[in-house]
Amino acid sequence: MLDINFIRANKERVEQGMLNKGEKDISIVSTVLQKDEEWRALVHKTDTLRSESNAKAKEIGKLMGQGKKDEAQAIIAETSKAKEEIKELEDAVKKVQDEKESLLLRITNVPHPSVPVGFTENDNEVFATWGDPNNEEWRKPHWEITERYGWVDFERGVKVTGAGFPFYVGPVAQLQRALINFFINEAGAAGYTELQAPFFVNEDSARGTGQIPDKEDMMYVIPRDEFFAIPTAEVPVTNFHRDEILSADQLPVKYACHTPCWRREAGSYGKDVRGLNRLHQFDKVELVKIVKPETSYDELESLRAHSEMLLQKLELPYRTLLMCTGDMGFTQSKKYDLEVWSPGQQRWLEVSSCSNFEGFQARRMQLRYRNEENKTEILHTLNGSALALPRVVAALLEAYQEENGKVRVPEVLKPFIGRDYL
C-alpha cells in the first residue's frame, strides 16, 4: 500500500505507474484523494467541536460554585448535545477512513525508475546470461524421461487429488529432497535464518503481502476455518513480524523457508503445462529480507546474485531478465526473473523471481523500525525464490541425461543422494 502523503505529492507519477503496469482505470487515484480530503475535513471538524466542548465543560464547575445553576445547566445541555454530534462525527470519520483504506489497497505499487516501460514479455530486458544452452537434438523432454522410468506419476496424482498434483517417485523424490537441502544449506551459509512456517494463513496475512485484493482467484481457500493455502512462503514469512517495531540493530532480517505452495491457476493446455512446467502444488525455497529503506536496492542485487549462484553451482545455463512494468506484479517496484535453459524443450523456464516491494507490503502490515532519531519508519521488504523446484528438476533431468538414457547427478547434489546416477 502506498502512503497517502506520497500519493498526494506525486499524483501524476502514481497514475502513470498504474498505466505502465497495464491498469486501464486510474480514476481510483483521484477518488482516494477526494476521500482523504473528506476524512481530513471531518477530523478537523471533530477536533474543533471536541475542543470547544471541553472548554465549555470546564465552565460548569465554576458556574455551579457561583450559584449560577441555570447557566451551568444550559452548558450541560449544550455539551451533551455536542457529545452526540461528536459521536456521529467519529462514526463518519471511521466510515470514510475505512473507505479510504479500501481504495488504497487497490492502488498498485509504483515501478522504480530503472524498470523498463512495456507490457509484454518482449519488453523485458536481458540483464545477464550464464552458460551455453545445449541444443543437442537427441535430448528428450523431462516428461518422456520420467514416464520411461516411472519417476513422476501424474495419473495417480489425478486419481488421488486432481490435475497438477503429481506424485514424485524414487530417484526424483530423492532429487527434490536433495535440492531442498542444498538450497537451505546455501541460504544458511549466506546468513539467512531458516524458518519452518505454517502452510495456511489468515486473511490479514494474505492482505499484508498483497495477495488480497489482487490474487484471491489464484489461492486455495479453506472456507470453514477462513484460511488460505499459501501460494508461496513469502506470505507467512513476511508476516512473521507484522505489527512489530524492530530495532535498528536487528536489521537486515533475512529468512529462508521451504514450503509446498498451492496455486489454482495452472495455465492453458499445451507444452507450457506439460510435465512439471506448471503445477497446482509444488515445492519452493523462499528467501525474505526486511531491510532499511536506503539499503533495499543493494539488497535486491545481492538477492538476485544468490539465486544466480545456485544455478551456477548446479551448472545450469540461465538468463536473468529485468521485468518491464506491465510484466511485474501488483505489489512490486522492481523485479528480476531467472530463467533456466531446458534443452529437452528448447525453451527458457522461469525458476525464480527476485522482487523489491519497497514499503508497499510493510505499510499494509505496519512493519516498522526505530531509526537513528528514535522515530518509527516503515521498512522495505524483498523476496526471491531460491529456488522453485519443479522446473529446476525438469531442467536437471534434461541437462544431465546421457544418450544411453541414464541421468547423472550434479556434483553438488552427490553428498545428498550418495551416487553418480539417479
CA 330, 338, 251, 196 torsion: positive or negative?
positive
Q: Is residue 94 classed as helix, strand or coil in its secondary structure?
A: helix
Report whether CATH 1.10.287.40 matches the domain 4-104.
yes
The pLDDT of residue 61 is above 80: no
Take residue 388 and report the three cell numbers written for it.
Answer: 522453485
The pLDDT of residue 157 is above 90: yes
In this prediction, residue 74 has a pLDDT band, given cuts at 50, 70 and 90, of confident
In this prediction, residue 85 has a pLDDT band, given cuts at 50, 70 and 90, of confident
Take residue 190 and report the three cell numbers written for it.
Answer: 549466506
The pLDDT of residue 271 is above 60: no
Q: What is the pLDDT of residues 331-347, one digit of tens each?
A: 999 999 999 999 999 99
> Which pLDDT score is estimated for 55?
80
The pLDDT of residue 80 is above 80: no
> Which pLDDT score is estimated for 68?
66
Q: Among candidates 307, 304, 306, which has minimal Cα distance to 322?
A: 304
CA dist 323 and 121 (Å) reads: 8
CA distances, 196 to each of 237, 257, 405 (Å): 9, 6, 37
223 membership: H or E segment, kind and range: none
Angle at 206 between CA 379 and CA 197, to 5 degrees: 80
Q: Among candidates 332, 344, 324, which has minimal Cα distance to 402?
A: 344
Q: Is residue 129 classed as helix, strand or coil in its secondary structure?
A: strand
Provide the 10 A C-beta neighbour count for residue 271: 11
Concatenated DSSP letters of 281-319: EEEEEEEEEEE-GGGHHHHHHHHHHHHHHHHHHTT--EE
Q: Among candidates 275, 248, 227, 226, which has minimal Cα distance to 392?
A: 275
Provide the 10 A C-beta neighbour count for residue 406: 12
Superfamily covering domain 121-417: Bira Bifunctional Protein; Domain 2 (3.30.930.10)
What stretch(es) of the chain map to CATH 1.10.287.40?
A: 4-104
> Which pLDDT score is estimated for 57?
72
CA dist 250 and 33 (Å) reads: 36
- Mean pLDDT, the chain, rounded, equals 94
The pLDDT of residue 315 is above 70: yes
| N-terminal to C-terminal alpha carbon distance within the chain | 47
CB contact at 8 A, 251 and 138: no
> Which pLDDT score is estimated for 89?
93
Q: Among candidates 7, 202, 10, which has minimal Cα distance to 106?
A: 7
CA distances, 422 to each of 219, 313, 345 (Å): 34, 18, 21
> Which pLDDT score is estimated for 63?
64
The pLDDT of residue 266 is above 60: no
In this prediction, residue 58 has a pLDDT band, given cuts at 50, 70 and 90, of low
Take residue 127 and report the three cell numbers written for it.
Answer: 540483464
CB contact at 8 A, 391 and 402: no
Residue range 67-85: average pLDDT? 74
What stretch(es) of the chain map to CATH 3.30.930.10?
A: 121-417
Q: What is the pLDDT of residues 33-53, one digit of tens each?
A: 999 999 999 999 999 988 887
* Residue found by looking up cell 471531518 in the block: 42
CA distances, 151 to each of 144, 160, 174, 329, 362 (Å): 10, 17, 10, 34, 42
Q: Where are the alpha helices (DSSP H) in 10-126?
A: 11-20, 27-65, 69-104
Residue range 314-340: average pLDDT? 97
Phi, psi of 335 (to 5 degrees): -145, 135
In this prediction, residue 99 has a pLDDT band, given cuts at 50, 70 and 90, of very high
Weakest-pLDDT range from 5-9, 264-268, 401-405? 264-268
